[in-house]
Amino acid sequence: MPKTKGITIGLEFDDKSKLKLRAIAKHVGALADELDAIVAMNDDEPTQLEGSN
């Protein structure tokens, strides 16, 4: 099997940017969990999002 070439990208972040990225990742994970819970619901009635009337 021929060897494939890859691309290497070096990124440097300061501490503030690292904290922001960690916070974003944490929130994305929580949102994904909420979406999974919604999908898993077996209700036949449509759901209404909070605050949307």
Could you tell me which residue, 45 or 4, shows the higher pLDDT? 4
CA distance 44 to 32: 22
Q: What backbone torsions phi and psi does residue 28 show, to the nearest 5 degrees?
A: -60, -40
The confidence band for 33, taking pLDDT boundaries of 50, 70 and 90, is: very high
First to last CA, the chain: 59
DSSP 45: S
pTM for this model (two decimals): 0.52
pLDDT of amino acid 40: 84
Question: Any idea what the Cα angle at residue 28 is, between residues 26 and 33, rounded to 5°?
Answer: 95
24 has pLDDT over 80: yes
16: pLDDT strictly greater than 80: yes
Write down the pLDDT at residue 52: 62
What is the C-alpha to C-alpha distance for residues 48 and 53, in angstroms, rounded to an integer?
A: 8
